[in-house]
């Protein structure tokens, strides 16, 4: 999610979100707009429309990271040419790790989580005590806990792709 500044006044800027890239759009009674773009980017802001919009980048210690993220967003929205910030494989592993943590917090066992991910037949195919699937779910739980505790910052900084 990226928070946008309300539409900019006409100061000669021409870069706007291409209308054909918007797949879904909604505006609330409070004027807050939400858009989903075809490349998977979600935008939220006040009065998001076809006029140029702006980003607010605080001048802080994370300036280089914020600037790089703004540049990636520009390339995705306007030029439509940008590499995803993380690989599809890494994204899938992250989703599974976070789902594992959600499952554990809801009381699910490693075996129940493995069954949800890999199916009951595959889980039953080998002894659970020494199962490679059990070890994989345990590693996902460790990775998910690390991402929740501190790893998400690395993603935000563009590290550890």
Structure tokens at 106: 């809801």
Stated length of the chain: 161
Total domain count, the chain? 2
Same domain, 8 and 66: yes
3-state helix, strand, coil in the chain (%, to 5): 50, 15, 35
Q: Which domain holds residue 45?
A: 2-79
Q: Three-state DSSP class for 72?
A: helix
Residues 142, 43: Cα–Cα separation, whole Å: 31
- Is the pLDDT score of 4 beyond 90? no
Same domain, 99 and 64: no
Query: Is-above-0.85 flag for pTM?
Result: no
Structure tokens at 161: 């792709």
Same domain, 25 and 43: yes
Say if 161 falls within a structural domain.
no
Same domain, 29 and 65: yes
Starting at the edge strand found earlier in the chain, the sheet holding 42-46 runs 22-27, 32-37, 42-46, 2-5, 54-55
pLDDT digits (tens, 9 = 90+) for 99-136: 999 999 999 999 999 999 999 999 999 999 999 999 99
pLDDT digits (tens, 9 = 90+) for 13-49: 455 666 677 777 777 777 666 677 776 666 666 555 5
Say if 133 falls within a structural domain.
yes
Q: Are 37 and 77 in contact (CB under 8 A)?
A: yes
């Amino acid at each position: 999610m990226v928070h946008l500044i309300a539409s900019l006044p006409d100061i000669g800027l021409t870069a706007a979100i291409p209308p054909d890239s918007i797949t879904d759009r909604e505006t609330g009674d409070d004027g807050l707009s939400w858009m989903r773009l075809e490349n998977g980017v979600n935008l939220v802001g006040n009065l998001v429309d076809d006029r140029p919009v702006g980003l607010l980048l605080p001048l802080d210690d994370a300036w280089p990271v914020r600037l790089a993220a703004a540049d990636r967003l520009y390339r995705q929205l306007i030029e439509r040419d940008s590499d995803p910030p993380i690989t599809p494989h890494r994204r899938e592993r992250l989703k599974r790790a976070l789902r594992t943590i959600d499952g554990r917090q809801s009381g699910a066992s490693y075996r129940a989580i493995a069954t949800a991910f890999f199916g009951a037949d595959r889980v039953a195919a080998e002894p659970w005590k020494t199962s490679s699937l059990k070890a994989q779910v345990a590693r996902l739980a460790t990775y998910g806990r690390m991402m929740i505790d501190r790893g998400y910052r690395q993603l935000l900084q563009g590290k550890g792709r």
